[in-house]
C-alpha cells in the first residue's frame, strides 16, 4: 500500500515553449494554466490552491517580470484560494510535493502547480555577459577560483569522478544523449528531433571537461502546469486519474555541490524513502522519467533508485535498457535536453501521459507505473505514479 490519503494528478499542460518567445512570466503561466484546466475539463472554481515556482535565485534582472501564486489566483479566477505557495525550490519537485502535502493535510482539495521559466534567467545567458556579482557568502570559496556556472560543480566534476571511480566512459554519456534524442524524434512537441549519433556527440567540444553541450538541458521560455486533487474528486474529470503512490524529498549537506559527495548524494536518501513508502519495487516500474538538467544527474538517479547498481548506469544505458522497447524506457519525451528546460515538470507530465496511454509513437505499452525524479546533490525528490 502506498501513501494515503491518495492524491492524483488530473490535469497537465504547457505554454508555448521556445527561445526568446517574447512571452513574459504571467503569459507563460496563463497559457499553462489554461492548457492544464482544458486537459482536466475544469473550471476555475474547481481549484482552491496555487503553487508556483518562478525564481531561480537572487533578484530578477531588469525587464524580467516575476509571477506569484496570488497573482495567478486572482488573474485566473481561482481566488479566494484555501492555500498558496510561492514554491519550494529550487526545482519543480519541491513545489509539487508541497502541493501534494497541502492536499493531504486538507488545506486545499485541488491545487494547480507551476514551473515558469524565463530563458533570460538561465545560466547559459551568463555566457553572453559577465556576472558582476561579488563573491559573498559561501560563494567566496568558489567564485574566486573560477567556479562560475553550475555546470562545473554540478555536472562536470561528478562526471569526472564517476568515470574515474566506476570506469564510466564518454561513449556511455553519448549513448544516453542518442537514446533521449531518439525518443524526442517520436515526440512532436520536442524541440530537437533530428537523429543524433554517438560520433556526432563525441565530435562536439568540451565546455568544461568532460562535459559537452549535449550533456545539458536546453534553456527556454516555458510554462508548465499540473493540477492535483484528492482521490474523492479525482474521477470527476476528463481523463483517468494518475495517483501518487509514494513520494519523497530529502536533503543533506550545505548547498555546495563542490564539496559534497559527488557520487552518492541526496537522491540515494530520497530513493530509500520512496521505496519504504510503497509495496512496489523497481522491477514493477514501466518507465522512468529522471531529471536530465545534466546527464550525470540521470545516471545518479538510475543508480539511486535501484534500477542498476551504483556505478552501473553507463553500461546499463549502453546496453539499450533505457531505450523504448528496452527494460526501462527512460525520459520517453526526449528529456529536457530535447524538449527544453522545465526543471522537472516535463517528467511529471510525461509520467501522467504515459499512464493515460496518450503518448502515440513513444507510448510504453500498457504503462501503469512511472517514477519521476528531480534535482541532485544536496537536495532531491521523487514521485512514483500509478494508474487507477
Partner 1 sequence: MDTSVAPPLPVANPLTEFFWEGTRAHKLLILRCQSCGHFVHYPRPVCERCLSEDLAPEEVSGNATLYSYTITMKPWHPFWVDKVPYVLASVELPEQPDLKMLTNIVECEHDALEIGMPVEVTFRQVAAELTLPFFKPVGS
Residues that bind partner 1 (CB under 8 A): 126-127, 130-131, 133-149, 152-153, 156-158, 160-161, 164-165, 205-211, 254, 256, 258-259, 261-262
Residue 134 vs 365, nearer CB to partner 1: 134
CA distance 50 to 38: 17
End-to-end alpha-carbon separation of the chain, Å? 13
Q: How far is the CB of 182 from partner 1 (least distance, A)?
A: 28
Q: How far is the CB of 175 from partner 1 (least distance, A)?
A: 21
Q: How far is the CB of 8 from partner 1 (least distance, A)?
A: 40
Q: Name the helix (H) or strand (E) containing 275.
A: helix 266-276
Taking only Cα atoms into account, the Rg of the chain, rounded to an integer number of angstroms, comes to 20
Sheet hosting strand 83-85, strand order edge to edge: 83-85, 49-53, 110-117, 222-230, 7-14, 242-251, 379-387, 369-374, 287-290
User: Under DSSP, is residue 78 helix (H, G, I), strand (E, B) or coil?
Assistant: coil
Residue 158 vs 223, nearer CB to partner 1: 158
**φ, ψ dihedrals at 248, nearest 5°:** -150, 150
CA distance 151 to 158: 10
Residue 111 vs 156, nearer CB to partner 1: 156
> Does residue 314 contact residue 295 with C-beta atoms inside 8 Å?
no
Name the H helices within 312-357.
313-318, 336-339, 345-356
Residue 60 vs 256, nearer CB to partner 1: 256
CA distance 172 to 157: 16
Residue 143 vs 198, nearer CB to partner 1: 143
Pairing state between β 369-374 and 287-290:
parallel
Q: How far is the CB of 209 from partner 1 (least distance, A)?
A: 4
Q: How far is the CB of 22 from partner 1 (least distance, A)?
A: 27
**Strand intervals (E) in 201-348:** 206-208, 211-212, 222-230, 242-251, 287-290
Residue 227 vs 262, nearer CB to partner 1: 262
CB atoms near residue 75 (< 10 Å)? 15
Q: How far is the CB of 297 from partner 1 (least distance, A)?
A: 15
Residue 5 vs 254, nearer CB to partner 1: 254
**φ, ψ dihedrals at 329, nearest 5°:** -55, 130
Q: How far is the CB of 213 from partner 1 (least distance, A)?
A: 11
Q: How far is the CB of 129 from partner 1 (least distance, A)?
A: 9
Residue 96 vs 211, nearer CB to partner 1: 211
Amino acid at each position: 500500500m502506498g501513501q494515503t490519503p491518495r492524491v492524483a494528478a488530473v490535469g497537465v499542460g504547457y505554454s508555448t515553449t521556445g527561445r526568446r518567445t517574447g512571452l513574459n512570466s504571467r503569459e507563460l503561466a496563463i497559457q499553462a494554466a489554461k492548457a492544464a484546466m482544458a486537459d482536466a475539463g475544469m473550471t476555475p472554481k474547481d481549484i482552491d490552491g496555487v503553487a508556483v515556482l518562478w525564481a531561480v535565485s537572487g533578484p530578477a534582472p531588469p525587464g524580467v517580470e516575476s509571477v506569484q501564486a496570488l497573482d495567478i489566483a486572482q488573474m485566473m479566477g481561482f481566488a479566494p484560494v484555501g492555500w498558496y505557495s510561492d514554491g519550494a525550490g529550487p526545482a519543480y519537485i519541491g513545489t509539487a510535493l508541497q502541493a501534494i502535502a497541502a492536499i493531504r493535510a486538507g488545506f486545499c482539495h485541488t491545487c494547480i502547480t507551476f514551473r515558469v521559466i524565463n530563458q533570460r534567467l538561465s545560466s547559459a545567458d551568463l555566457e553572453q555577459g559577465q556576472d558582476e556579482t561579488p563573491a559573498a557568502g559561501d560563494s567566496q570559496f568558489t567564485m574566486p577560483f573560477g567556479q562560475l556556472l553550475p555546470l562545473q560543480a554540478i555536472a562536470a566534476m561528478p562526471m569526472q569522478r564517476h568515470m574515474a571511480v566506476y570506469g564510466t566512459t564518454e561513449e556511455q554519456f553519448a549513448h544516453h544523449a542518442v537514446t533521449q534524442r531518439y525518443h524526442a524524434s517520436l515526440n512532436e512537441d520536442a524541440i530537437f528531433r533530428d537523429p543524433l549519433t554517438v560520433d556526432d556527440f563525441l565530435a562536439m567540444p568540451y565546455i568544461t571537461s568532460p562535459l559537452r553541450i549535449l550533456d545539458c538541458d536546453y534553456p527556454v521560455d516555458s510554462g508548465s502546469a499540473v493540477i492535483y486533487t484528492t482521490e474523492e474528486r479525482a474521477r470527476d474529470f476528463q481523463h483517468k486519474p494518475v495517483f501518487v503512490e509514494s513520494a519523497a524529498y530529502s536533503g543533506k549537506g550545505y548547498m555546495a555541490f563542490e564539496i559534497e559527495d559527488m557520487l552518492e548524494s541526496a537522491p540515494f536518501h530520497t530513493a530509500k524513502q520512496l521505496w519504504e513508502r510503497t509495496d512496489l519495487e523497481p522491477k514493477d516500474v514501466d518507465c522512468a522519467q529522471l531529471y536530465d538538467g545534466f546527464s550525470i544527474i540521470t545516471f545518479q538517479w538510475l543508480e539511486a533508485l535501484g534500477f542498476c547498481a551504483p556505478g552501473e548506469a553507463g553500461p546499463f544505458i549502453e546496453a539499450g535498457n533505457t531505450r523504448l522497447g528496452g527494460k526501462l524506457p527512460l525520459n520517453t519525451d526526449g528529456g529536457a535536453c530535447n524538449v527544453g528546460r522545465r526543471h522537472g515538470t516535463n517528467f511529471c507530465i510525461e509520467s501522467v501521459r504515459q499512464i493515460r496511454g496518450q503518448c502515440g509513437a513513444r507510448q510504453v505499452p500498457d504503462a501503469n507505473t512511472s517514477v519521476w525524479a528531480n534535482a541532485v546533490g544536496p537536495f532531491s525528490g521523487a514521485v512514483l505514479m500509478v494508474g487507477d
